[in-house]
Structure 1
Amino acid sequence: MTTEIPQSILDALTDVEMPRLAPEPPFPVTTEIDGQRLPTYRCGCVIVGSGAAGLRAAVELKRRGGDVVVVSQSAWGGTSACSGSDKQTLHTANTSDRGDDYKAMARAIRAGGAMDEDTAYIEAVGSGRAMASLQYLGLPLPQDELGGTLRYQTDHDEVGRATSCGPRTSRLMVKVLAEEALRLGIPIFNQTTGLRLLTDGKGAERHVAGLLAFRGRDCSADNPLGLCVLQSPTVVLAAGGPGELYRDSVFPNGCFGSLGMALEAGIEVANITEAQFGISTRREGFPWNLSGTYVQVIPHIYSVDDTGAERHFLGDYYRTTQEMASNIFRKGYQWPFHATRTLNFESSLVDLAIFRETQAGRRVFMDFNRNPLPVPGDLPFSLARLDGDVSTYLRNAGAGQDLPIDRLRHMNPLAIELYRRYKVDIAADPLEFSVNNQHMNGGVKVDIWGQSSLPGVYAVGEAAGTHGVTRPGGSALNAGQVFGTRVGEHIAASGSAHNAPEGDISRPVAKAVAAVRSLRNKDSTLTQHAVRDTVQARMSDTAGIICTPETVAGARADAARLNTEIRARGMTLSRPSELGRVVQWQQMALVSEAVLTALDHYIANGGGSRGARAICDAAGEALPEARLGPLAAYRFRTEKPEHQAEQIVVRWTGDGFDLATRPNRSFDEDVKAFFERDWPAWLTGGIYTAGAQKPAKG
C-alpha cells in the first residue's frame, strides 16, 4: 500500500530556502603594503567555508565566548548545501540491531583501513550528540511513534545505522546551522575567497597569523588587486574537498576546497590517495549521486551510440537476469566503486561496465519506465526472481509495483521531485549518468581535536584527512558535525579566540601579497582555463577508478612540469576579477601533483587496489570476469594488509614534496573510563592537551 504524501510536504523537503545573510560589518583598519591599503578585520578565529562543518565550528565557538567570523566564496553554495545523494545520512546509535555499541560502530567506520582508530571512536561516540543537537535546532530527522529514529542500510554499512530526512538532508543541516549562526550574530563575509594563510615565526615557533583573501568589490586605486586581510590567531579550514580536481565530477561547480592553500603553507596532509567515485549525474546538468532508491527500484540501464542505437550492455557482464538485477539494486547501499566488488559478478561490475561504455564514446542512461531487459538466453526480469537480500528488502518496503517509477514513487517520491526542480522529469524521460568523482577521503592531517601541523590551524569536514580508505555512507556528514563541535570546544578552551589580536601584521601580509603578485604575468600563455582543462583531464584519465603504474607515474611527471612552468611563468589574467580563480587553479595544479605523487609512491611500493581505485597490472592477482569471459585488461593488484595499518603523509617544502608513512593511531577497546579518576582532567581542561600534533619543520 502506498501512502500518498501531500505535495506541500514534498515541496518543503525539496525546496529548502536558505536564510538571508545579515549585513557585513566594516573592515575597520587597513594594512599598508607597498603603497596599497588592504582592508583589515581583526578577530579571534576565521572559519573558511560556510558548509555544515564550518558553521558547526562557528556556532560552538561563539556559544563559548569566541570572537569568530566566517568567510565564504559563495555562502550556501558548497557541497553540503548544493550536492548530495538519494539519501544523505548521519550515523547515530539506536537499538541493539542498529548499532548502539559505539565500539562496534567505530570498527565499522575504520574498517577500510588507513584511519586512526581513536578518530573512528570519536566519530561514533559523538554521533548521538551531533544528531540530538541538530534536532534541537530543527532538523526534521524521521522518528516512529515511540520516538525511535528511523534507520536504513547504506554503503559499507552492514548494520543499518543511517537516517535521513530526504535528499536535502545536508542542505537542511546547513540551513538550521546558518539560522543559529545568524541568531548568534556571527559575521559572515560572502564573496570572499581565501587565497593564502598568513604565517609568522620560524621553526617550532611558526604559527598562523590570519588569512589573505580576495574580494572583487574591494578593488580600488588604493587596492588594485582587491585583497583584504583577516588577522587572527586561529583559522579553521572548512571549505570542503577539491571538487574541481576532476573533469568527471559530481561536485557543484566552483568547489576548490582549501587543500592547496594548506599545502602552500607547509601543512601536512594525509591519505590524499583516497577518494570516492560512483554513478551520478554530472555537474553539466544537475549533479547528484544515484545511490539509494534510485537503483534499488531496479531501473533499466542501457547505452546509446552516436547513431542512436540502444545497447543492453549489462547483459554482457552478468550471467543471469536475476544476478544482474540484484546487483543493480545493491548499488543502493554499495554505491561507491570498489575494486574487490568487480570480482565474482558483484555490484562494482556495474560501475566498470558503465566506465567502459563511456570510454567507448557511448552515453549511458537509466530508464525508470522500463524494467531491465533479460540477459540474453535467460528468463525475463521478475520481482519474484531476485536474490534473497533484495527480495526481502523490497517486500519489507512494500515495493512490489510493476514498474521502477512506481516503486520509486512509493519508496521515495522526493527522489522524483528533486530532479523535477531542475527541469528533469525522470518519471517521463531516461536519465543520463556516468561514473564520477564524489569525495576526497584524505586531506589535512589532524589530531583528535582537529589541529593541523601548523599551530593555530584546524581542519574539519572534507578538508580534514580523517576518513581512511572507505567509510559508511553519510559518515562524512557526521564527522564534520562531531569535529566541528570539538574544534569549537578546543579553541574556546585555549582562550586564543576570545579577543581580537592587536599588533603589526605587515610582514606576513607582505610575503603573501608578493606570492600572489608573482603569479600574475600578462605575457604568460597559461590561463586559468588552460590549467583547468589540463589538470581535470589528467586526473580523470589517469587517476580515476582505473589506474596503472605507468600512467600514474607519467601523470605525476606531467603535473610536476606544469607546476614548474606556473612558478616560472605565472598565469595571465584577462581582468582583475579573475585573480581569485587564477590563484585557485594554481593551487589546484599543486593539489593534483600532490595526489599523483602520493599515489605513485603508494603504487611503486607495492600498493594494491583499495577503496576508489583498481590498480591494474598484468601480474595482478585478481581478474574480474564477465558473462562473455575474463576482463583481462582490468586484472588488478590486491591490497597488502600492511598498508591498511598506515597512512601516507605529504608535505610541500616549496621545492618539492616530502613523503612519509606513519602508523594509524590506536584505540584500546579494553581501557575503560573511571569517573573519579578521569573527572579532574575534564574540570581542569587537561583533556584538551591530549593528542596534540608536533609542528611540521620549516
Structure 2
Amino acid sequence: MAAQNGNLASSDNAQDGFDSIPQEILDRLTRVDMPNVKDIPASKDTIEVAGATIPTYRCETLVLGSGAAGMRAAVELKRRQIDVLVASTGLFAGTSACSGSDKQTLYTASTDYKGDNFLKYAEGLCSGGAMNFSTAYVEAVGSIDALGGLQFMGLPLPHDDQGAILRYQTDHDEAGRATSCGPRTSKLMVKVLFDEAITLGMRILSGCSGLKIIKQSTSGEERVVGVLAAHRSEKRNPYGFIFIQCEDLVIATGGPGELYRDSVYPHHCHGGLGIALEAGVELCNLTESQFGIGTPRTTFPWNLSGTYVQVMPRVYSVDEDGNEINFLANYYRTTREMVSNTFRKGYQWPFHSTRMLDYGSSLFDLAVFLEQKAGRKVFLDFLKNPDPVNPDEQFSLEDLDSDVRDYLENNEALYDLPIDRLRRMNPLAIELYRMHGTDLCKEPLEFAMNNQHMNGGILIDDWGKTNLRGCYSVGEAAGSHGVTRPGGAALNSGQVFGKRVAVAIKRSSLNKTSAELDTSDLQDQLSVALSEAASFVGSPTGKSTNEIKTEIQARMSDRAGIICTADEVSQALSDARALRCLVQEQGITVNSPSLVGSAIRWKQMANVSEAVLTALDHYIQNGGGSRGARAICTPAGDDCPQAKTEDLSRFRFKTEQDKDKALKICIRQNGDQFEVREQSVDLSPTVEREFFEKGWGPYLIKEG
C-alpha cells in the first residue's frame, strides 16, 4: 500500500497498477510511428507569366493544412466523391502532431454512465461568451459522430468492459466530459486520419505553403478560384511558385504560433490568418487566446497541465548566481494553500484573471510570470516534495484541501514522492519527456508562461463558411471557440466542422455551375506576386525576416500577454502599424529566391499582429474588462490579487463586463486599413425536435 504521509520514500514501492504496463505499449502511445506518405507527381501543366514558368495543379477542393481538422475535412470530402487535394507546409509538423499535454484531451459528449444532455453541453461551451448557441449545439451533437468516426478509423480511446469511454474533468468543464489516449492524442488522431486518407487514395502535396488566395468576380461576387503556393521541390521558377486551381478552399492551417516569443507552439506555425486577411476574409475574437505554463519553446514545447502539476512537484526558481528560491512562498499563505492550488493548475490550466483572486490557481501563473520578468528560470522538481511556506510547516499528504486529497486517494496515488505519484497516474507523461531528452526521474524540468492557443480566428458560420464565396475554415484557424472553452473542445470542434464543411461542399456541388477561369486576370494577379517576390531578393532597404520576427514576437509577448494595460496596448498597436507600413513601403529583404515564401509569410504575420492589437485596443478602449486570456490592469480596476508578502497593487484589474459576452469583435483588412465591427451573439436555444417524416424528405433533397 502507498505511504500516507509526507516522508520521502523509495520509488520502488510505486511499481503496481498503471506501472505494470509493458514498455512496448508506453512506447506505442508516445513514440508514434506515422505512415509513409507519397507526394503526387509534379504537374506537367504550366502557365507562363512574365517570363516565369508556374506549374498548375487542379482539384475541386483544396485543403490547406494536414492537421487533425484538415485531414478530417479531406477524408470526409473524399468519401463524398469530391476531388480533394491536401497541401501542407510540413506533414506531421504542426500543432496536432507536435503539441499536447499530460493526457491531451478530446472533449465530447459523454458516453459513459447516463450519457449526456446536448443542451447542457452547448450551454457550457458558449457560457464564456462571444459564441453563438447554435455553434455550440452543433459541436455538442456532432461530437458523437466525430468520436465514433475516429474510433472506426482506429483511435485507441480507453473504455470499460461495457464499452463506455473513460472520462475525467478538464478546465472549464463541470460535467467530466474529457477523454484521452495519452499525451499524443491529437498525433494519434492525425495518424488514423492519414491511414484512412491513404486507403482512400488521397492526393497529398507536402512541402507546400499557401501564400495568396486568388479570387475572381462572378456575377459581381468575389469567389475563390485557387491559391498561389510555394512548393519546396519546385525548380521551374526561382521562387518555387505553383498555382493550385480549385472551386472550394478549406483553410485548416492552425493558429498563429509565431506571433509570440513565449510560446508552446512548434516552430514555423504561421497559421492561415495572414492569407485570409489579405483576401478580405473577416476574422473574429482575436482578443481571445490561451496562456499557461509549459516547457520553453527553446527546448521541447509542451503544456504542463493535468498530472504534471496534480502530483504537486517542488516548484522553485534559480537566480543568476545559482540560488534556488521558493518563490511561491511569497504568494501563498500556507503550504496547504500553495500545493492545493498547484494541484488545481491541472484542470484550471489556462490563466484567468479571476483565479488570481482569493489565492487561487492563477496566482501561480502570475508568480511564474514575474519570476520570468525578473530574469530567473523556473523549474518543477518531481524528485522532491514542495518546500514549506512557513518554518513551522511541512508538506503532508494529510494536509490537503478535500478536492485534492480525494482525487489522489481515488486514483490510489498517495505516494511519498511526486515522481511516484506521476508514475502511478500517468507514466506516459514521464516517457514523453524521456524521449525528448529530459528524464523526470533524474532531473528537474524548466518551464515558463506561454501562449498556447488562439480561440479567435476566421469568422465562420455553422457550416464553416466564411464571407468569401468558396472559402471555408476549420480547426484553430477558425474563430469558433468563444472566450473560454473546456480543454479539448478545440479538437472536437475541428472534427465536427471537418465533416460539416465536407457536407456543405458536397451539397453546393449538386447545384454548382462551374465558372470559366479568367486566365488573363489570373496572369495579372500572378504577375503582381512575381514582381513582389523579385523586389524581396537582395532589397537594399527592407528589414530581414529575422528582424521582423524578433520585433513582432517581443511586442506581443511583452505587451499583449496575460497582463495588459490600455497605454501599453495602444503603444503596441502604434508600433505594429508602423512596422506594417514600413514593410509595405520598403519590403523585406532575403538573400535567396528560395526564401521569398518565408518573406511573404512574415509580411502577413505583421498584418496579423496589427489585427490582433487593433481588436484588443478596440476592446479595451470601449470599456472591455479582464476575461479569458488577459488581465486588463488599471488603477481604477474593480479587483486586485493579493499575496502573502508581495505587493500586487499594480495588477489591479477591471472585471469583465456582461455586455461584452454578447458580442464578437470582427475585423477585416481593407487596403491599408483594418475595419472593426461588433456582431451580436445569438444565445437563444432555439433547438426543436424534428419529426422523422417531416425532416426526411428535405434531408434527401439536400443530400441529392
Q: TM-score range by the shorter chain?
A: over 0.9
In structure 2, C-alpha distance between the alignment counterparts of 1:378 and 1:658, rounded to whole Å? 59
- 1:230 corresponds to 2:247: no
Asked whether the 8 Å contact 1:68–1:497 carries over to 2, the reply is no
- 1:540 corresponds to 2:557: yes
Asked whether the 8 Å contact 2:542–2:583 carries over to 1, the reply is no
Partner of 2:143: 127
In structure 2, C-alpha distance between the alignment counterparts of 1:138 and 1:383, rounded to whole Å? 40
With over 3 angstroms needed to count, the CA separation of the structure-2 counterparts of 1:284 and 1:327, relative to structure 1, is same
CA deviations 1:269-321 (Å, max 9, x no partner) are: 00011000000002211010000100000001000000000110101111111
- 1:45 corresponds to 2:61: yes
In structure 2, C-alpha distance between the alignment counterparts of 1:434 and 1:99, rounded to whole Å? 38
Partner of 1:355: 369
Question: Where does structure 2 lack aligned partners over 5 or more consecutive residues?
Answer: 2-15
Q: 1:233 Cα deviation (Å)? A: 1.1
Partner of 1:691: none
Partner of 2:311: 297
Asked whether the 8 Å contact 2:50–2:527 carries over to 1, the reply is no
With over 3 angstroms needed to count, the CA separation of the structure-2 counterparts of 1:188 and 1:506, relative to structure 1, is farther
The amino acid of 2:177's aligned partner reads: R
Q: 1:225 Cα deviation (Å)? A: 2.1
- 1:639 corresponds to 2:653: no
In structure 2, C-alpha distance between the alignment counterparts of 1:358 and 1:501, rounded to whole Å? 56
Q: 1:510 Cα deviation (Å)? A: 3.0
- 1:372 corresponds to 2:386: yes
Q: 1:217 Cα deviation (Å)? A: 2.3
Q: CA RMSD in A?
A: 1.7
Q: State which drifts further: 496-505 or 446-455.
A: 496-505
Q: State which drifts further: 153-162 or 626-635.
A: 626-635
In structure 2, C-alpha distance between the alignment counterparts of 1:447 and 1:555, rounded to whole Å? 31
With over 3 angstroms needed to count, the CA separation of the structure-2 counterparts of 1:97 and 1:373, relative to structure 1, is farther
Q: TM-score, normalised by structure 1?
A: 0.96
Partner of 1:187: 203
In structure 2, C-alpha distance between the alignment counterparts of 1:33 and 1:117, rounded to whole Å? 48
Q: TM-score, normalised by structure 2?
A: 0.95
With over 3 angstroms needed to count, the CA separation of the structure-2 counterparts of 1:497 and 1:410, relative to structure 1, is farther
In structure 1, C-alpha distance between the alignment counterparts of 2:582 and 2:315, rounded to whole Å? 44
In structure 1, C-alpha distance between the alignment counterparts of 2:413 and 2:125, rounded to whole Å? 30
Asked whether the 8 Å contact 1:212–1:230 carries over to 2, the reply is yes
With over 3 angstroms needed to count, the CA separation of the structure-2 counterparts of 1:516 and 1:115, relative to structure 1, is farther
The amino acid of 1:638's aligned partner reads: T
* Selected match of 2:571 from 534, 548, 554: 554
Partner of 2:9: none
Asked whether the 8 Å contact 1:98–1:160 carries over to 2, the reply is no
In structure 1, C-alpha distance between the alignment counterparts of 2:51 and 2:663, rounded to whole Å? 50
The amino acid of 2:665's aligned partner reads: I
Q: State which drifts further: 81-90 or 669-678.
A: 669-678
Partner of 1:619: 636
Q: 1:26 Cα deviation (Å)? A: 3.0
Q: State which drifts further: 573-582 or 543-552.
A: 573-582
In structure 2, C-alpha distance between the alignment counterparts of 1:204 and 1:341, rounded to whole Å? 51
Q: 1:523 Cα deviation (Å)? A: 1.3
Q: Secondary structure at the match of 1:69?
A: strand
Q: State which drifts further: 492-501 or 592-601.
A: 492-501
Equivalences for 1:291-690 in 2 at 5 Å?
A: 291-495=305-509, 503-515=517-529, 517-518=531-532, 520-521=535-536, 522-628=539-645, 630-669=647-686, 671-685=688-702
* Selected match of 2:171 from 142, 155, 171: 155
Q: 1:664 Cα deviation (Å)? A: 1.1
Q: Secondary structure at the match of 1:685?
A: helix
* Selected match of 2:37 from 5, 14, 21: 21
Asked whether the 8 Å contact 2:126–2:133 carries over to 1, the reply is yes
Partner of 2:217: 201
Q: State which drifts further: 209-218 or 492-501.
A: 492-501
Q: 1:501 Cα deviation (Å)? A: 7.9
Q: Secondary structure at the match of 2:543?
A: coil
CA deviations 1:366-395 (Å, max 9, x no partner) are: 000111111124521111111111111100
- 1:249 corresponds to 2:263: yes
Partner of 2:10: none
The amino acid of 2:52's aligned partner reads: Q
How many residue pairs end up in the alignment? 685
CA deviations 1:560-593 (Å, max 9, x no partner) are: 0101011101011111121111111110110000
In structure 2, C-alpha distance between the alignment counterparts of 1:669 and 1:383, rounded to whole Å? 48
In structure 2, C-alpha distance between the alignment counterparts of 1:496 and 1:542, rounded to whole Å? 49
Q: Secondary structure at the match of 1:18?
A: coil
Q: 1:95 Cα deviation (Å)? A: 5.5
Q: State which drifts further: 506-515 or 440-449.
A: 506-515
In structure 2, C-alpha distance between the alignment counterparts of 1:204 and 1:399, rounded to whole Å? 65
CA deviations 1:513-559 (Å, max 9, x no partner) are: 41453263421240100000000000000000000000000000100
Asked whether the 8 Å contact 1:215–1:228 carries over to 2, the reply is yes
Q: Secondary structure at the match of 2:243?
A: strand
Percent identity, please. 54
The amino acid of 2:348's aligned partner reads: Q
With over 3 angstroms needed to count, the CA separation of the structure-2 counterparts of 1:257 and 1:647, relative to structure 1, is same
The amino acid of 1:603's aligned partner reads: I
In structure 2, C-alpha distance between the alignment counterparts of 1:416 and 1:272, rounded to whole Å? 35
Asked whether the 8 Å contact 2:300–2:436 carries over to 1, the reply is yes
